[in-house]
Structure 1
């Protein structure tokens, strides 16, 4: 494995960019990641209970018959009851960790008579150095497979499960190098057939979602009452240079609404954002607002056009904003315009803040790829933006400390003035399941005074 294969864009040449004002910006490369989270695997309650009667000299309290065949019969009944109970609960089953108040025991159970090996890929705690630690254990004498991990009670994570049915070792055991091992476990995986919720990733792959009891809420799941059918619309907007966007409008509005611009708009469509907005607006968590979702198309286009001081940032400033403001009932002021993005899109949201000359005054940058450019000076040199929310996961390598360092750098400079900069860390990885929940929560926090007035 080459050094370049371990970092985003490692095989691509670096270049110097000039922004719309002619200022040069040198592109950088990310440092190889060295602080991978380790899998904390434990013998879970199900596995311990199952094996109890099989230990030498052990006798389960369930076994009350005479020695011999009667014991075996009752032991089978005990296993049957354990299996029934386990299969009645969705995956993952989460219980308090008796040894750590901040963590929980997450147990998965799969029923598969023919599998030779099953592996669990969890974003972000899959350890490529020893993939066997993420393999399920088959419970003796059964078709049940289980694994129990000690994870943060505040974690939200997407995950996939891959089963291997062939002779020989599964591919995740034989692959070499970080990326190859992760792909060998993740890409053949499927959503959990016993999971509850799923989400689609950047390129359409579907994963299941697990969330600890202290994970940030998903506001659209809070209310048990479904709102009346929404009158919202999603209209496609064709832009110059082959770009396109979709505009979500909340239906009939009494006054012009705020506007949110999102990069990677096709992903936001795929994760159900329009439907989620219908629910949270109807429930009063958000006021009516319009959202413009800019399509990043594919990997090559995204790398070349998103997260750089040009490309889609210029598209937003020169074409998207004027078109949406002219044709939809949005407040045209920069103070009512927000931008958000994730990863490279997070970097693009910062460039939009720095280069839009006050046309966009607020940004929510989630897991921004801050390694790619030095953004502090461009932000400080533009006095017309008002607020910046930086977010990153505790399991994203240097992303959270780098965001905290950017906040500290901005705060230390008198050019920042009275503008607001805040960094929030979450128990999470680089994960759409996390970004989706946190974006809605951040918007709800921002607009809470406004929604309170509307509900009064």
Structure 2
């Protein structure tokens, strides 16, 4: 282990680990729709227009150019209907996300102006008098998040916070969505919308099925995924996936299917993947806020890999760790404190704001520690959505620090929010940079800054997450 500063504990650890609830910096961008206008002009056309919406799938995208009119639809009786899209609405703007009931019909519609490269998961919140359809665990987590939000916001916002979280209790998938994801707001079957220039999901080829091997270290639960392939004489490359039970689907019949597909497609070299679970909200927060004990546990699990999975590398150049949100923060932290074990990190939408200054500690601790410690790292990939107003500037400041601290560095911005529907598209490419290219160009080569032209420009410009080499 390297000597790296001890993370802060602070006098108010609870508030310190709650994201800053900064007010959305701009209004929700409303647009216009020819289909909506047709129903407004002739309510009798509702059935015909609705039939067209069903054929097209939702949301319906109209217009041309870098910004499009994107319309979300619902049909039925309700007191109110809203669209819930991460980082497009919050407690101060959710009223702007309410669908309008079209007079003389039971159709509801809301048109937003979004970039042609925008992609995001969403849900419809339909308050129709029926009990919430969400699982009890999801409702409990929403309540936890409501309490957390109230604890770091001005009391003048508390009524709006309560109303916003009450609305989210009525979330359900959009039955007409053209695309779904297992990683959306409802898990399996979450709805996804996108513009015509957004990166599309890749159709992965059928792949031989790998194996899932459960392991423990104390109370730490984890699983190894081992592909159906020959690791070669040097043993398996290693990938550690934080929140790995989500990515690996460790309990389902398709366990590890994504990892199998990436390996079969040649995105990754033969790689054994350690998938970590982090429990509920409170446990996950404790785990993934620059916790040295977590890093120790991961290293112990790597050292004690069972014979059933075969030989795994101990080379940092062939070992990567990846995470999203707090997991992105922790992936980079693990590389800083254990560079002898982790030669690469992939950080999607990392919570680099941490700690929240309301907890009594200055913000952006990891960035400051890297800048002041003389730390040098191997390969790092950073990625953030242009709609993530709390994360965008901290991530850009971290980018500026890391550019001269890494053997290879890549950076990307995507047109979207804090959203697994975006992360799942670019994660394979980011992992290819972190692991698949390790032996091809070796240490000492710097990667160019992906999407550098968009880094200080408008959120409408779609950004590729494909690393480039310079």
TM-score (norm 2): 0.74
The whole-number CA distance in structure 1 between the counterparts of 2:421 and 2:381 is 18
The one of 405, 408, 423 equivalent to 1:435 is 423
Q: 5 Å matches for 1:249-264? A: 249-255=226-232, 256-264=235-243
Q: Indicate the RMSD between aligned Cα atoms, in angstroms.
A: 3.2
The whole-number CA distance in structure 2 between the counterparts of 1:449 and 1:362 is 11
**Corresponding residue for residue 182 of structure 2:** 199
SS of residue paired to 2:172? coil
Task: Flag structure 1 segments of 5+ consecutive residues without an equivalent.
Answer: 1-18, 55-75
Q: 5 Å matches for 1:103-182? A: 103-112=67-76, 114-166=77-129, 176-177=158-159, 179-182=161-164
SS of residue paired to 2:314? coil
The one of 366, 376, 384 equivalent to 1:375 is 366
Contact kept in structure 2, 1:387 and 1:421, CA below 8 Å? yes
The whole-number CA distance in structure 2 between the counterparts of 1:238 and 1:182 is 39
SS of residue paired to 1:106? strand
Deviation at 1:32, TM superposition (A): 4.4
Q: Bigger CA drift: 254-263 or 154-163?
A: 254-263
Q: 5 Å matches for 1:167-246? A: 176-177=158-159, 179-195=161-177, 196-200=179-183, 207-219=190-202, 221=203, 226-228=205-207, 230-240=208-218, 242-246=219-223
The whole-number CA distance in structure 2 between the counterparts of 1:40 and 1:441 is 31
SS of residue paired to 1:291? strand
Task: Flag structure 2 segments of 5+ consecutive residues without an equivalent.
Answer: 11-15, 131-145, 147-156, 356-363, 441-470
Is residue 2:44 matched to residue 1:83?
no
Deviation at 1:22, TM superposition (A): 7.9
**Corresponding residue for residue 321 of structure 1:** 302
Deviation at 1:189, TM superposition (A): 0.4
Is residue 2:383 matched to residue 1:391?
yes
Against the structure 1 CA distance between its residues 212 and 286, is the aligned structure 2 distance closer, same or farther, given a 3 Å change threshold?
A: farther
Deviation at 1:434, TM superposition (A): 1.6
The whole-number CA distance in structure 1 between the counterparts of 2:390 and 2:52 is 41
Contact kept in structure 2, 1:156 and 1:212, CA below 8 Å? yes
**Corresponding residue for residue 8 of structure 1:** none
Q: How many pairs were matched up?
A: 392
SS of residue paired to 1:42? coil
Contact kept in structure 2, 1:126 and 1:182, CA below 8 Å? no
**Corresponding residue for residue 267 of structure 1:** 246
SS of residue paired to 2:383? strand
**Corresponding residue for residue 48 of structure 1:** 37
Q: Bigger CA drift: 266-275 or 422-431?
A: 266-275
The whole-number CA distance in structure 1 between the counterparts of 2:369 and 2:74 is 51
The whole-number CA distance in structure 2 between the counterparts of 1:159 and 1:34 is 20
The whole-number CA distance in structure 2 between the counterparts of 1:149 and 1:205 is 25
The whole-number CA distance in structure 1 between the counterparts of 2:341 and 2:71 is 49
SS of residue paired to 1:154? coil
Deviation at 1:92, TM superposition (A): 1.2
The whole-number CA distance in structure 1 between the counterparts of 2:328 and 2:110 is 35
SS of residue paired to 1:132? helix
Q: 5 Å matches for 1:86-97? A: 86-97=53-64
